[in-house]
Amino acid sequence: MGCIVQKYGGTSVGSVERIQNVAQRVARTVAAGNRVAVVVSAMGDTTDELMAMAKQITPYPSARELAMLLSTGEQVSIALLAMALQTLGCDAMAFTGSQAGVVTDGVPCNARIAAFNANRVKEALAAGNVAVVAGFQGAAACGEINTLGRGGSDTTAVALAAAIGADSCEIYTDVDGVYTIDPRVVPEARKLVEITYDEMLELASLGANVLHPRSVECAKEHGVIIHVRSSFHEEIGTLVKEDTAMEKGTVIRGIACDEGQVKFAVLGVPDKPGVAARIFSAIGQAGVNVDLIVQSIRREGENDILFTVAGEEYEKVHAVLEPLVQELGARRLQHQRGLAKISVVGAGMIDNTGVAAGMFQALANAGVNIEIISTSEIKISCLISDEGLIAAAQAIHAYFKLHEDVCYPE
CB of 154 to a copy of itself, least distance (A): 22
Binding window for a copy of itself (CB under 8 A); candidates: 58-66, 103-111, 218-226, 282-290: 58-66
Judged by beta carbon, residue 140 or residue 257, the one nearer a copy of itself is 140
Which 3 state secondary structure label does DSSP give 208?
coil
The answer to the question of residue 39 lying near a copy of itself (CB under 8 A) is no
Q: Which is nearer to a copy of itself, 53 or 236 (CB)?
A: 53
Residue 280's nearest CA partner among 267, 299, 266, 268 is: 266
By the rule CB under 8 A, 44 interacts with a copy of itself: no
For a copy of itself, give the closer residue by CB, 82 or 292.
82
The dihedral sign for the CA sequence 200, 25, 168, 141: positive
What residues form DSSP beta bridges with 220? none
Quote the Cα angle for 92-72-21, to 5°: 45
Residue 391 engages a copy of itself in binding (rule: CB under 8 A): no
Which residues, numbered 140-169, are part of the site for a copy of itself (CB under 8 A)? 143-145
For a copy of itself, give the closer residue by CB, 144 or 176: 144
User: Interaction with a copy of itself in 92-111: which residues (CB under 8 A)?
Assistant: 93-94, 96, 98-99
Specify the residue, 88 or 114, whose C-beta has the smaller distance to a copy of itself. Answer: 88
CB 174 to a copy of itself: min, Å: 23
Closer to a copy of itself by CB, 76 or 356: give it: 76
Q: Does 76 bind a copy of itself (CB under 8 A)?
A: yes
Which residue in the set 83, 282, 293, 310 belongs to the binding site for a copy of itself (CB under 8 A)? 83
Task: By CB under 8 A, name the one of 4, 40, 84, 113 that touches a copy of itself.
Answer: 84
Q: Alpha helices, DSSP H only, in 224-349? A: 275-285, 314-328
- Of 3, 21, 50, 105, which one interacts with a copy of itself (CB under 8 A)? 50
69 interacts with a copy of itself by CB under 8 A: yes
Contact 379, 396 (CB under 8 A): no
Among 39, 18, 19, 36, CA closest to 27: 36
Residue among 9, 10, 44, 61 that touches a copy of itself (CB under 8 A): 61
* Euclidean distance between CA atoms 326 and 331, whole angstroms: 8
Residues in the interface with a copy of itself (CB under 8 A) total 36
Name 187's Cβ contacts closer than 8 Å, sequence gap at least 6. Answer: none
Considering only 5, 13, 19, 36, the residue that binds a copy of itself (CB under 8 A) is 19
Q: Distance between terminal CA atoms of the chain?
A: 46
**Alpha helices by DSSP H, 136-236:** 152-164, 197-205, 213-222
C-alpha span between 371 and 384 (Å, rounded): 6
Angle between helices 63-87 and 16-31 (to 10 degrees): 60
Among 68, 107, 293, 390, binds a copy of itself (CB under 8 A): 68
With 0-12 / 13-18 / 19 or more C-beta atoms within 10 angstroms meaning exposed / middle / buried, residue 373 is: middle
Binding region for a copy of itself (CB under 8 A): 16, 19-20, 50, 53-54, 56-58, 61-62, 64-66, 68-69, 71-72, 75-76, 78-80, 82-84, 86-87, 93-94, 96, 98-99, 143-145
